[in-house]
Amino acid sequence: MSFSRELKARTTKVWEEGYNHPFVQEIGQGTLNKEKFQFYLLQDYQYLLQYAKVFALATVKAENEDMMTLLSGIQHGILAEEMNLHREYMAGFGISSEQMLSVKPSLFNRTYTANMLAVGQTGDLSEILAAVFPCGWTYWDYAIRLKKQYADRLEGNFYRTWIEKYASFDFANSFEWFYDAIDEIVTRKTDAGRERVAEIFASSVEFEYLFWDMAYKQEMSYCL
């Protein structure tokens, strides 16, 4: 198994706790409280604005035209497609544009995105990819498993569109290139450098878990 594919195995405990979190499981069951999902959408909207900036920083660190083109295309996809999906969902909740733009990111949200932006500023391309990779990889893995586990409940599930989007071939294909890109760069790293990449990846998996937990509890900070 390649270095990049082994990264998931190194985070098995928190990865599985993320999948088994009530927020994720209740999406699959179709029972998640819609106010919690609304909270998640508003926070994720703010998250994606910062996530797009990390890809801009990755583009700066890219060493060839093909990678620059790929990374800038992903940034455009986040802003033009991913954000539109959130706007459609939020419109379904009756959330106005003013609400969407005025909501403050939670402490958990700010901490996660600040960590990614810090890696974007100081790390090389493999480290930046390791910081953002868990977002796409966990969503795809969880959605695929939810779709299979709750196949008999998808009909009429309010969250079916969300599940099917992230379980789709197109979504999986959108991050498939990460594996080879990370593997190619780490061949030039020392053992300590590769361990640094793995640690960054693990931190983002932990932040993904905390994001689900934050949304489920509708927490703006550790005490609110």
Catalytic site residues?
Answer: 135, 208
Hey, what are 87's tokens?
Answer: 């706007």
Please, where are the H alpha helices in 78-124?
Answer: 83-92, 97-102, 107-122
Hey, what are 112's tokens?
Answer: 């996660």
Residue 6, number of CB atoms within 10 A of its CB? 10
Q: Is 94 left (phi over 0), alpha (psi -120 to 50) or beta?
A: left
Amino acid at 138: T
Residue with tokens 């498939």: 176
**Are 48 and 78 spatial neighbours (Cβ–Cβ below 8 Å)?**
yes
